[in-house]
Amino acid sequence: LVRKKPALALGGPTFGWLDQSFAMLENLLREQCVVPLPVLLLQGGADRVVGQREQLKISEVLADCRLVCYSDGRHELLMEDDHIRSAALREICSFLERVAG
């Protein structure tokens, strides 16, 4: 998709984005951190940007977190092949129906 429409490609993270991301992760991993919302965490099994162990730790800390791994998926699951993207979109729709229902 990005090869056909290069304008859809995203640039790398900024230093500010990284700083805030690391701060958020530290807060999440503290035991006193409570996220009172349901969370859907979609994981790419072939992601080379975000570590799977770290995502698993986050999912275990959150009270209501559903972790779904797409073994062939990379970092941007919604920019993947149709079978991965479609499965991720179905999971998102199911999650939204559950939390909004």
How much is the pTM? 0.74
d(CA 41, CA 6): 27
Q: Is residue 31 part of a domain?
A: no
Q: Is residue 4 part of a domain?
A: no
Q: Is residue 63 part of a domain?
A: yes
Q: What are the two backbone dihedrals, phi and then psi, of residue 48, each rounded to the nearest 5 degrees?
A: -110, 5
**pLDDT tens-place string over residues 35-56:** 788 999 999 999 988 888 888 9
| Type of residue at 49 | V
**pLDDT tens-place string over residues 60-74:** 888 899 999 999 999
Q: Is residue 71 part of a domain?
A: yes
Q: How many domains does the chain have?
A: 1
Which residue segment(s) compose the domain that 74 sits in?
36-101
